[in-house]
Structure 1
Amino acid sequence: MEIDIRTQLLSLAEPEYQKFSAALIPNITNVLGVRLPVLRKIAKQLAAGDWRTYLETADDEYFEEVMLQAMVIGHVQADLDELLKAIEAFVPKIDNWSVCDSFCAGLKYTKVHSEPMWAFLQPYLRSDQEYEIRFGVVMLLNFYLDERYIDQVLSALDQIRHEAYYVKMAVAWAISMAYVKQPEVTMCYLKHNTLDDFTYNKALQKITESYRVDPETKQMIRSMKRKVKKQATS
């Protein structure tokens, strides 16, 4: 690379923003403090150049270095097979919700490759790894909540069994978004599901927090909350 990426990132880091950003991602300690719009600008430049060499040689020590790779993969122009290989190589690097969710949102070419991408996502939804599952779930909520896929999405979400917090929260988020976009189908699902109590109640909570749900419906959703028995202490 003409300009060393890490040197560039270090020069763009802001100490105050580092404190703010790091506080939002409690499970990591390698945030430099570079703002996301700045990273996006760099990513577009890298994607327009020799992005293959960049991805093959990119460092992973800092949060921003990994986020930058995520953004580049979303901007590159390539055939689907090459894109899928890049995604597959990147997913194991995801270790926090921020990189995961930004990465998924950037994979907009999923819209024009919905069928092969759907097949590609299935192993991640069945994974036993926290962020592999979250990757799959967040991809579903970004690109598959239409009439064509909603039944399959809800079925896939209902089959996820993992105790990790960021998996449960992703499933709850996906169900809440499904309700906003496909309320009738999702309401039927909410009345007949096998979700654990935490995920189910979180999904209801997120629905009631949406500005796209009217007050009367929110009241009805609140009434569906499961009462969770507190465990007796010895």
Structure 2
Amino acid sequence: MKREEVRERLENQAEQSYKEFNDKIVPGVKNAIGVRLPALRKLAKEMAKEDYKEYFDELEHTEKASLYHEELLLQGILIGIIKVTPSERMEYIKKFVFKIDNWAVCDTFCSGLKFTKDNGPLMWEFIQPYLTDEREFFVRFGVVMLMCYYIDEEHIERDIEILEGIQQEGYYTKMAVAWALSLCYVKFPEITRSFFEKSNNKLDDFAYNKAIQKIKESYRVTKEEKAYLHSLKRK
């Protein structure tokens, strides 16, 4: 399917009201046209059965500024569902991460990389350089991948160590770190509580307090736990 045809399909499914909603929740995105995710996923499934490589090639030779927000989302979704080997998919991932410039594209992309569940050790090593990068959305990509696929008994202690050590100062990096730590607490409260109690905790104040705030918003945490965590917030 050629890009021209894809754009026409997207334009026909665009909703002005949804565009206005999207513009509010994804600040800085000026090229959204208002296509909902279910419609994008449906189109991606259709395209995955065809010659998607032609579409990818066209995108590679197109200025990013001229792409619809939904075209980026669509490409990210496609990368997660096409039938390729893990190594081939990782090559697509490497190229796509350079295009990520907002939380919506990042998080939708990561949540669709479900092949990670069957390639855990391989992808764990793959995401490590992103977690120590200096670029905001490179690091957010690594953190969201960690959060989606590696908050488990095998990785929890290493997860917290990695999250504490992230130095990238971007707002969307810090929000991802806070979000990940809140999920660590929900799944492994005792281990994560010890992290918040550490007197030499290296996490910056914003991410530390935001993580506690997100934990307090969880319905899976008791009132007593929330009150205790609130007492640990930094002034």
Q: TM-score range by the shorter chain?
A: over 0.9
Q: Is residue 46–residue 54 contact of structure 1 (8 Å, CA) maintained in 2?
A: no
Partner of 1:223: 231
User: 1:13-53: CA deviations, max 9, x gaps?
Assistant: 11111111111111111111111111110011111222223
Secondary structure at 1:93 match in 2: coil
The residue type equivalent to 2:32 in the other structure is V
- TM-score when normalising by structure 2: 0.93
* CA drift at 1:55: 1.9
Q: Is residue 176–residue 203 contact of structure 1 (8 Å, CA) maintained in 2?
A: yes
Secondary structure at 1:4 match in 2: helix
- Residues of 1 paired with 2:53 and 2:182: CA distance? 37
The residue type equivalent to 1:122 in the other structure is Q
Q: After TM superposition, list the pairs within 5 Å mapping 1:19-58 onto structure 2.
A: 19-58=20-59
Partner of 1:232: none
The residue type equivalent to 2:232 in the other structure is M
Q: After TM superposition, list the pairs within 5 Å mapping 1:142-221 onto structure 2.
A: 142-192=148-198, 193-221=201-229
Q: After TM superposition, list the pairs within 5 Å mapping 1:103-114 onto structure 2.
A: 103-114=109-120
Q: Does 2:12 correspond to 1:11? A: yes
In structure 1, the gaps of 5 or more residues are 228-234
- Residues of 1 paired with 2:37 and 2:20: CA distance? 14
- Residues of 1 paired with 2:131 and 2:15: CA distance? 36
In structure 2, the gaps of 5 or more residues are none
- Residues of 1 paired with 2:202 and 2:214: CA distance? 18
- TM-score when normalising by structure 1: 0.94
| Alpha-carbon RMSD | 1.2
Secondary structure at 1:194 match in 2: coil
Partner of 2:107: 101
Identity %: 48
Partner of 1:87: 93
